[in-house]
Amino acid sequence: MQRLARVETETAAPHVGECVTIKVALAGQPNVGKSTIFNGLTGMNQHVGNWPGKTVEQKTGGCARGDKQFDFVDLPGTYSLTANSEEERLARDYILHERPDVVVAVVDAAIPERSLYLLAELLLLPAPVVLVLNMMDVAAHEGIQVEPRVLEAALGIPVVPMSATKHQGFEALLDAVVAVWEGAYPYNPHRPVILPAHQTVLEELIMWVATYVPKPYPADWVALKLLEGDDEIVTMMQSALPADVWGRVHNTLLHHEDAILDIAGARYAWISRMIRAAVVRPKVGPMGLTARLDRVLTHPLWGTLALLGVLAVVFWLTYTIGSPLQGWLDALIQQGAEALRNGLQGALPRWTVDLLADGLVGGAGMVVTFLPILVIFFAVLGFLEDTGYMARAAYITDRFMHVMGLHGKSFLPLLLGFGCNVPAILGTRIIETKRARWLTILLAPLIPCTARMAVVAVLAPLFFGEAAVWVAWGLAAVNLGVLAVLGVVFHRFLLKGEQAMFIMELPLYHLPNARTIGLYVWQNVVAFLQKAGTVILAASVVVWLLSYFPANGDVTQSYLAWIGKGLAPVGALMGLPWMLMVALLTSFVAKENTIATLGVLYGNFEAVLPALITPPAALGFLVVQMLFIPCIATVAAVKQETRSWAWTLLNLGLMLVISFGAGILVYQIGALLVGG
Amino acid sequence: MVPLTALQPGQTGLIHRLRGGHRFVSRLAALGFTPGAPVTVTRNHGIGPLIVAVRETQVALGRGEAGHVLVYLEGDGDATVSQG
pLDDT above 70: residue A238: yes
**CA–CA distance, A576 with A552 (Å, rounded to integer):** 26
| Bridge partners of residue A28, in order along the sequence | A106
What is the least distance, in Å, from the CA of B83 to any CA of chain A?
Answer: 15
Question: Which CATH number goes with the domain that contains A273?
Answer: 1.10.287.1770
CATH architecture of B2-73: Roll (2.30)
The reply to whether A6 falls in a domain is no
Q: How confident is the model at residue A6 (pLDDT cuts 50, 70, 90)?
A: very low
Q: How far apart are CA A60 and CA A100, in angstroms?
A: 13
Highest mean pLDDT out of A115-129, A283-297, A541-555? A115-129
A388 and A412 in a single domain? The answer is: yes
Same domain, A365 and A387: yes
In the predicted structure, residue A62 carries a pLDDT above the cut 70: yes
* A230 neighbourhood in chain B, CB within 8 Å: 26
pLDDT of residue A532: 67
N- to C-terminal Cα distance for chain A? 72
Phi, psi of B39 (to 5 degrees): -125, 125
- Mean pLDDT rounded to a whole number for chain A: 86
Radius of gyration of chain B (CA): 12
Instruction: Answer yes or no: do A320 and A362 share one domain.
Output: yes
Q: Are residues A169 and A224 in the same domain?
A: no
- CB–CB contact A84 B43 (8 Å): no
Scored b (16 or more CB within 10 A) or e, A631-640 reads: bbbbbbbbbe
Q: Is A640 within a domain? A: yes
Query: Which residues are within 8 A (CB) of A346 and not within 5 positions of it... i.e. 6 or more apart?
Result: none
Domain that holds residue A375: 286-676
Q: Domain end: A127, A156, A182, which one?
A: A182
- Over 60: is that where the pLDDT of A640 sits? yes
CB B71 within 8 A of CB B13: yes
Q: What percent of chain A has pLDDT over 70?
A: 95
Contact yes or no for A111/B56 (Cβ under 8 A): yes
Written as one string, the DSSP assignment of B30-77 is: HTT--TT-EEEEEE--SSS-EEEEETTEEEEE-HHHHHTEEEEETT-T
CA dihedral of A244, A248, A250, A254, whole degrees rounded to 10: 150
Residue A342 predicted with pLDDT over 60: yes
> Could you tell me if A129 and A257 lie in one domain?
no
CB contact under 8 A, B34 and A399: no
Helix (H, G, I), strand (E, B) or coil at A10: coil
| B76–chain A nearest CA distance, Å | 22
**Is residue A548 in some structural domain?**
yes
Stated length of chain B: 84
**Given an 8 Å threshold on Cβ–Cβ distance, is B58 in contact with A505?**
yes
Domain-located, residue A7: no
Q: Residue A10: inside a domain, yes or no? A: no
**Are A83 and B26 in contact, with CB atoms under 8 Å apart?**
no
Is A230 in the same domain as A116?
no
pLDDT digits 0-9 by tens, A356-385: 887 788 777 777 777 887 788 889 888 998
Q: Closest chain A residue to B18 measured between Cα atoms?
A: A261
Give Dmax (Cα) for chain A.
89
Residues A637, A640, A642, A645: what is their CA dihedral angle, to the nearest 10 degrees?
A: 100
Beta-carbon contacts of residue B15 (< 8 Å; ≥ 6 apart): B33, B34, B35, B36, B37, B38, B39, B69, B70, B71
Q: Average of pLDDT values for A544-563? A: 81
Whether A518 and A630 map to the same domain: the answer is yes
Residue B37, pLDDT score: 94
The verdict on a CB contact (< 8 Å) between A114 and B49 is no
DSSP string, A348-387: B-HHHHHIIIIIIHHHHHHHHHTHHHHHHHHHHHHHHHHH
Q: Domain for residue A9, yes or no?
A: no
Confidence of residue A568 (pLDDT cuts 50, 70, 90): confident
pLDDT tops 60 at residue B50: yes
Quote the minimal CA–CA distance from A112 to chain B in Å. 9
ipTM of the complex: 0.90
Q: How many domains does chain A have?
A: 3
* pLDDT beyond 90 at A478: yes
CB pair distance less than 8 Å for B29 and A298 = no
- Cβ distance A88 to A81 under 8 Å? yes
What number of other Cβ atoms are within 10 A of residue A500's Cβ?
A: 24
Domain end among A254, A280, A306 = A280
Mean per-residue pLDDT for A438-463?
Answer: 89
Q: Is residue A2 part of a domain?
A: no
Pairing of the two strands A102-108 and A20-28:
parallel
Chain A, chain B: beta-carbon pairs less than 8 Å apart? 119
pLDDT confidence tier of residue A7, bands split at 50, 70 and 90: very low
Distances (CA, A) of A223 to A198, A202, A237: 12, 6, 10
Cα angle, residue A95 at apex, residues A90 and A98 outer, rounded to 5°:
95
Residues A75 and A159 in one domain: yes
Q: What is the pLDDT at residue B80? A: 46
Residues A475 and A514 reside in one and the same domain: yes
User: Do A258 and A340 fall into the same domain?
Assistant: no
Is the pLDDT reported for residue A435 higher than 90?
Answer: no
Query: Mutation test of the interface with chain B: which of A503, A508, A509, A510, choosing the one with the most B Cβ atoms within 10 A?
Result: A503
Arithmetic mean of pLDDT, A485-496:
84
Taking the CA of residue A510 and the nearest CA in chain B, the distance in Å comes to 15
Residue type at position A54: K
CA A387 vs CA A506, A512, A590: distances in Å: 11, 5, 33
Residue A27's beta-bridge partner residues? A105
Q: Which of A394, A410, A392 is nearest to A507 (CA)?
A: A392
Radius of gyration of chain A (CA): 29
pLDDT per residue as tens digits for the range A144-181: 899 999 999 999 999 999 999 889 999 999 999 999 99
CA angle at A514 for the pair A511 and A517, rounded to the nearest 5°: 100
Statement to judge: residues A354 and A324 lie in one domain: yes
Segments making up each domain of chain B, as ranges: 2-73
Question: Within this chain, do residues A524 and A621 fall inside the same structural domain, yes or no?
Answer: yes
Residues 6 or more apart in contact with residue A117 via CB below 8 angstroms: A29, A79, A80, A264, A267, A268, A271, B30, B32
pLDDT tens for A581-632 read 888 888 887 787 788 778 777 777 888 888 888 889 999 999 999 999 888 8
A508 Cβ neighbours under 8 A, 6+ residues apart: A110, A111, A138, A142, A288, A289, A290, A388
| pLDDT score, position B84 | 35
pLDDT at A141 over 70: yes
Contact at 8 Å (CB) between A228 and A263? yes
The Cα A15–Cα B45 span in angstroms is: 64
Query: Cα(A349)–Cα(A353) distance, rounded to whole angstroms?
Result: 6
Query: What are residue A337's phi and psi, to 5 degrees?
Result: -65, -40
Contacts of B17 in chain A (CB under 8 A): 258, 261
**Mean pLDDT rounded to a whole number for chain B:** 87
Evaluate if residue A422 carries a pLDDT over 70: yes
Q: Compute the 3-state secondary structure of chain A and give helix, strand, coil in percent, each to the nearest 5.
A: 65, 10, 25
Find out whether A586 and A447 touch, Cβ atoms under 8 Å. Answer: no
CB contacts, 8 Å: A292 with chain B = none
pLDDT at A14: 45
Exposure string of B47-72, with b = 16+ CB inside 10 Å and e = fewer, is ebbbbbbbbbbbbbbbbbbbbbbbbb
**pLDDT for the residue numbered A495:** 73
Q: Nearest CA of chain A to the CA of B9: how many Å?
A: 12
Domain with residue A65: its CATH number is 3.40.50.300
Q: How confident is the model at residue B76 (pLDDT cuts 50, 70, 90)?
A: low
Domain end point (choices A257, A280, A303): A280
Mean pLDDT to the nearest integer, A514-540: 79
Contact list, A402 vs chain B (CB under 8 Å): 48, 62
